[in-house]
Each structure stands twice: as structure tokens, then as C-alpha cells.
Structure 1
Amino acid sequence: MLDQHLTTDDMPLFTRLRMTAFGEAVIDIANDPAYDQWTFSQKIRHALEHETAARTERRVLKLLKASRTPNPGACVEDIRYLEGRNLNRELVARLAACRWIDQTHNLVILGKSSVGKSYLAQALVNAACRRDYSAKYYRLDDLANQLAVYHRQDTQRLTFLTSLHTCDLLVLDDFLTTPITGQTAAELLNILAAREGRGSTVVTSQFDPEDWYRSLHDAVIAESILNRHRLHCRARPTRRAKHAPPHPHRSNQLNRARGRHTATRSPRPRYQIDTHALPETPAKHWSRCSITSRAGRCWSTGPVTRSTSSTRSRAR
């Protein structure tokens, strides 16, 4: 009986089994004399690797589509480390490795307009999806509008909030670029509180966290959000900044209560790159990465203390 090689006519069999890439590899092996010297195990392994690569690619594309990132092609490999930007290549590589997502660390990216904050955040979404993490990307204004569409008891609203609470990585771009309503601030607080210990959050903003307080109307909600985003950083202050209070909004509240005039903005220190552990960082463990046209700065936090039950079990 003559040996009949597999041909493209046999592809429907593989397609029915949802093994199209495996079938393509098997047909190539059967009809290409270059594979005649391979052992049977080598041929099977090659076909399996071909199928695995195809499934991984489809999985990444599915995760990127679900993330709603406006630039799915953004990746850390395309980031330009120009001399004036002072971007830390090693830090970006560590962020792209996504171990901080496993540990539910959070990240704040600060910088002026058009310096690349959004692109870096989108590149981290791409890196997370390539490592099989689920991600969601929203501009804060778009998120507020989306929440306003749904009725309080709407099933779609509950599904939407669940997706925000449970995704591995949530990116909030252009954070407080424009003022938000008190209702949106309350919704934001609920989302951040629900994500504690469950996922990582990336925030990009043109303003320092101390300035976020002025964009949040309710003092209690503002304090709760800022407590979850409190950043302790090591800096070399200027002569004026040496005497500035560590938390300007708290001092301003006290001074207003005493009838004193307060400045609208406290002096900003000259920050330097510092990637050492910060012992004063609270349990929320926020990391900070700033991009500016003149100098780059970044901070990383100490180890995370979490219960064993909340530790991710998946292996990377």
C-alpha cells in the first residue's frame, strides 16, 4: 500500500479539532524532504511548538483587544532612551517583566504633557498581555462617562465594575487632568478599594499627588484616595523646599482653619533617580516613575507583606 502524504485537503480535520497551526506544520513536514532526517519525536515537537506559538499569539491579541488600549502596538522595545529624558532603561525592563503585577504593586507615572507617559503605560499593557495578564486601559474622563451611562442597578454596570475590580492591571490615564464630580470621586474610591490586594493599578498624571487634592471635592474621599496613593520619595530639596511641609494639603487645611493665607502650590524639590527601598512607604506599596524633558526620576518600594491566600499561584 502506497504511503499517502498529508495534503492541504486534510486541513479541515485539523480545523475541526481547532489545531490549524499544528496541521499546517504536520503537512509541511510530510511534504518537505528537508524534514526526512528528523526523528518522529522531533517532528511532533516542532508541530506542537508551532501550535503553541499560534495559540499564544491569538491569546495576546484577545487580551489586547479586551484591554481597550488605543495603541496595541506600543511596546517597551520601541521606547527611545534619549539623553535629555533620562529614562532608566533598567527600571523599564523590570517593569516589563511584570513581577510587580504578581505582587500587586502599583505605579504612578508623572510628567508634563507630550513626554510619553501614555505611551509608557500602553507599552506596559502590551507587556502584561504578552505575559498572559488581563488588563484594562481608560482615560479617567472616559471612565467617568462610562460609569454615568449605566443605571445604578443595571446588570451591565455590575459586569463593568467587576471587570475593573478583577483585572490584573488597570491603567488610569490622564488622572485628574480635568476636575471630576463628587460622584465620580466616590466611584473611583470604591474601585481602588476593591482592587487592594487583587490587582495592580497604573496612574499617569501631569500633576503631583499633592495637587490631586484640589481636584477632589469631598475632603473625606480625597483623603481616602490620597492615602491609597501616598508616595514617600527621596529627594534633594532646594533651599526653599527644605522648609516645606511634607503634606501640603494637610498644612493648608490647618492654616485655613486658623485663618491664615496659604500659597496655592508648595515649592517642588529637585528629584533624583532613586531605586532603593523606601522603609517609610505604607502597606499600599506604590512605586513612582516620572518622565520629564529635563530630568527623569523614579522610586521603587520595599517588599510586599501579604497573606498567603492572596498570593498568585500562577507561574511566570
Structure 2
Amino acid sequence: MQRTGGLVKAMAVIISLALPTVLAVSAADARVGGGLSSGSRGSRTFSAPPSTSTAPGTASPFNRTYTQPGYNGGYSAPARGGFFNGRGGLLGGLAAGFLGAGLLGMLFGGGLFSGIGGFSSILGLLLQIVLIVFLVRMAMAWWQRRNMPAYAGTVPPSDQQNFRSNMGFGGFGGTSTTPLQILPADYEAFERLLGDIQAAWSNEDVGRIRLLATPEMVSYFERDLEQNRARGVINKVTGTKLLQGDLAEAWREGDTDFATVAMRFSLVDATFDRASGRLVEGSEQPQQVTEVWTFLRERGGNWQLSAIQQTN
């Protein structure tokens, strides 16, 4: 029992030291999307977009998506998930476990925590659950990667589409691997959406965001803004400037067009206390970010943001 108690205490110390680091990493990426991979890419949601010169690595799998594996078109129902997001997820399961244990203890004549043998047992149970969830998530991620179809490939140089921004910096260039043709006006729309979405996020203008992004992405942004308000902070993203962009792939599914582009851009990402205006996270100095954004449009409609993926 003494050895077990010592082990539990040691693991508790490790968790208490690691958790602030995890939270700090998440808080550092407070910009649109929160540094997560969120959204859907139609039937290619679970396939990695081809790498480009702007993002030569791989795009991270989605942390948040409504799409279910095996999906072939359209949007599915919202999926609860994420480590700290929504009513479900890991913390929701742990809370339910603690509540059930406490209720059992009370029903059998003990205190709130007597059902599982006191605080040490609670902590031990917590560590076991965290370990199980971690192993299950790793196994699921491995299985998805194992069964993930590849959509890489290039086309002859004669079929390549190149576009330079008229604003004098960077721009888009790349190849389309499908019959869908991406025109200069489309690239201009992608660049404009990059800045407009960041501005709407900074102003917490959800009405504006609804015009620029899909309902799925709007739901994530609303949730993130609510979390900021609950913490008493506001995230301001300013000075967004596209430096370089490449088309990874473009395709059509029914009446919906999709285009996935890698973008490297600079911005100032700073989070302030709502009451005092004091800088609490981020920096007021510009930083460079590389992300993979997917846009969609219904036939004859405007482009909207459908997904944001981080790069490895």
C-alpha cells in the first residue's frame, strides 16, 4: 500500500507539472482555429492532401470534424469529441466516472469518495482512465492511417496553373490534380478569405463569419469564442499577410467544388484581458504560420472556408 501510495503521488506530481505546459501550448495558438485541425474535406476528409512547396510536410489529421469514416458526400451530424471540447470527450467521461463512483459510495453508506476508496484511489482511477483513453486514441489513429487512401500526384508542367498576387508579396502557384480548374479569381478569393476571416474572428463578428465559413466551421469558431469569453480574454489577430500559397488539389463532388491550398502567412496573434486590456498570451510581434485551408462552394456560389489543417 505504501508503494502504491508513493507511485500515485509521483504520478500526480508529473501530471500537475505537465498539464500547465499542455494548456500553455494550446493557448499560444489562439488564432482562428486555435492551432487545431478542424473541419471537413468532403469525401477526402480522411485522406492527406498532397504536399506542396509551401507545405512540404504532411497535414495533420482532423482533431474536430463532423464527417464520419466511410462518408462519400454531404455533411453528417456533428460529432462530439476532442480532448477538452464539448460536453463529451475525455473530461466529460471522467466527470461521469467520478459522479458515478461518488453516488455508489453514498448509496452504500459512505461519503462521496468512499465508493472507490478515498482520494488516492480516485487519482489512481483517473490515471488508469487517461492511459486507456490515450492507448485507444493511438490505436484508432494508427488504424485510420493504415486505411487512408493516398491522393498524391502531379501533372505535366504544361497543365500547371500559376498565379502571382497583385499585392506584391508571395502569391499562389501549384498544380491541380483533378479536372476542376482553379482560376486567378479563385486564388484572389482564397487570399481575401484568409484576411476577412481573421478580421471577423478578432471582432468576434459571428454574423460575418457565417458568411465566410461553412456551418461546421462556424460552430467551432463560436465554441472557441465562448471559451475566450468564459476566461475573460479576447484574441486579436492583426496584420495578416499572405506570403506564399500553393494549390494542393481541387475536385468536384456533385454540385460542390473543393479546393485545398497550403498558405504561409504572417500575422500578429495576441490575447488580451477583457477588463484591463493587458496582454496575457501570445505576442504583439509578427509571426509566420503555415496551414492548409480547404474551401468549398456550391455551384454558382461563393467560396467558403471548409477546413483548417496544421502542418507537420
Whether TM exceeds 0.5 here: the answer is no
- Structure number, greater radius of gyration: 1
Q: What range describes the TM-score normalised by the shorter chain of this pair?
A: under 0.3
Give the helix-richer structure, 1 or 2: 1
Higher relative contact order (CA 8 A, sep 6+): 2
TM-score by structure 2 length? 0.26
Give the strand-richer structure, 1 or 2: 2
